[in-house]
Structure 1
Amino acid sequence: MSAEVAEHIRTMIFDGRLKAEQRVPQDAIAEELGVSRLPVREALITLEADGLVSSETHRGTFVVPIRSEDITDHYRLYGMAQGLAAAGAVRRITEPVLDRLDELHAQMSSNDDPDLLHDLNWEFHTLINKTGASRRTLSVLRQLSHNLPREVYSLAAAASPEANRGHSRIIAALRAGNEAEADLASREHVQQESHQVVAALKRDGILAD
């Protein structure tokens, strides 16, 4: 239950319902979600570990201002982990997996439904991650994937020309058996996504800088 509450509060922070330095209304959130205050308190412990809120004794828990570098660093770390997974996938990937990546790439290139694009993009990268990542790298990827809400990841257009070129480059590196290129292509692809996300969050007034 606390994980769902944490995701709800995380979404409230990134869609602007909770502003920087605003006190988190624990009672109101508990009432809205139909839960006791316990899962809300547990959720805030998780969010404090993620750097999104800060607790002050006898005052409450407050939203920490989010800056561009926070998002950029998140995506840089994400890209490093995905690069490791892609390099590992070069050594383990099979033809059926490559064919499925081609199918997903083609579907993303010819679709404009945001929800479907998010799901296709998620499957594309998850397939590579599960094929090539070590257990430790998968653990890091799972943790990073939960640090931002789905709506933020969706801000990076999976059907943009840059995204399509990135996916094509990753597939080409996997087919060529080039670990270094698979790593680099994945990291640069994620970096390109970070630029879109930062720009969108700035436009929406979510970032503090």
Structure 2
Amino acid sequence: MALTEQDKELIGSIVSRKDAVLSVLRGAIADGRLAPGARLEPDRIAADLGCSRMPVREALKVLEAEGFVTCYPFRGTAVSHLDAADVEELFAMRLALEDLALTRAISALTADDLRRMRGILLRMDDPDERPRWRDLNQQFHAILNGACGWPRLIGQIDLLRQNVDRYVRIWVDTEGYDTPQRQHWELLQACEARDLPRARAVLDAHLRGTAERVRAVAEQGAADTVLRALP
């Protein structure tokens, strides 16, 4: 597994090794470095990260509970493949939680929050920033969700987002950025106007449209099952 500079800094930081390994593996699954069906070998991961097997095993247990990986008795562990039902469930949960966050956040967004959101969208419009589009997208939504002021809610939204990001990455790269970017601008404009009904309607359309496209990606990849990746 290729490590980013951020991964290397995290592994060497003062957080617990289990939490560091957990963050690195989650990120690698979300950004596609560990694809659906990829086999996860604790010895290999431990060697890559320069740690013992114990924090890797602990991290894999958490990832299994979160739905990022699947453990097969006597066959090992692999990155989970989401099917259409999984996508429907995850996005229904995201819509409910992000709607709640938006409802709390829209009146709490500061002028600086709105300025930063606008600046991010301007960068996302720039073709030269296209390689960073998904990171910028995450930053945009993080500012909005963060204004709700509820850390547990923010954490749950982030977990759900990471679980589907590997598929979002595929459809955005193949189908283009125009529709989601237009919706981002509409959402920002509604937030600037403190127009909650409009903001909720835009967010609903944004997430439902994303869910439909991600479901198609998941169905297209259904033939490449996790079991095929395991011996």
Tell me which residue corresponds to 2:181. 164
**1:78–1:144 contact (8 Å) kept in structure 2:** yes
Deviations along 1:171-197, one digit per CA (max 9) or x if unpaired, are: 122123222332232232123233343
Contact 2:83 2:219 in 1 (8 A): no
Q: Percent identity?
A: 22
Over 3 Å counting, the alpha-carbon distance change for 1:66 and 1:99 in structure 2 is closer
Structure 1 residues 99 and 169: CA distance shift in structure 2, 3 A: same
Q: 1:14 to 1:67 in 2, by over 3 A?
A: farther
Name the aligned partner's letter for residue 169 of structure 2: S
For 1:15, the aligned partner's letter is A
Q: CA RMSD in A?
A: 3.2
Q: TM-score, with normalisation over the residues of structure 1?
A: 0.76
Partners of 1:105 and 1:33 lie apart in 2 by: 35
Give the SS at the match of 2:71: strand
Deviation by residue 1:102-148 (Cα, 9 ceiling, x = unmatched): 22222212335443212221221111111134333223223334545
Please show how residues 182-201 of structure 1 align to structure 2 within 5 Å: 182-201=199-218
Q: Which residue of 1 aligns with 2:160?
A: 144
- Match 2:170 to one of 149, 155, 160: 155
> Which of 75, 90, 111 matches 1:74?
90
Q: How many residues align?
A: 201
Maintained 8 Å contact 1:67/1:207: no
> Structure 2 counterpart of 1:35, which letter?
C
Match of 2:11 in 1: none
Alignment of 1:24-63 (within 5 A): 24-51=40-67, 52-54=69-71, 56=73, 59=74, 61-63=76-78
Distance change >3 Å, CA 103–CA 93, structure 1 → 2? same
Deviation at 1:49, TM superposition (A): 0.6
Question: Does residue 1:94 correspond to 2:88, yes or no?
Answer: no
Q: 1:112 to 1:33 in 2, by over 3 A?
A: same
SS at match of 1:155: helix
> Cα gap change, 1:121/1:178 in structure 2, threshold over 3 Å: closer, same or farther?
same
**CA shift in 2, pair 1:203/1:123, >3 Å:** same
SS state at 2:124 partner: helix
Structure 1 match to 2:9: none
What is the CA deviation profile of residues 82-106 of structure 1, one whole-angstrom value per residue up to 9, with x for unaligned ones? 2222222222123332233222222
Give runs of aligned pairs for residues 100-111 of structure 1, distance below 5 A.
100-111=116-127
8 Å contact from structure 1 (residues 89, 129) kept in 2:
yes
Is the aligned partner of 1:18 residue 2:38?
A: yes
Q: CA separation in 1, counterparts of 2:190 and 2:116?
A: 15
Q: Which runs of 5+ in 1 are unaligned?
A: none
Q: What residue number does 2:194 align with?
A: 177
* Shift, 1:202, TM fit: 4.8
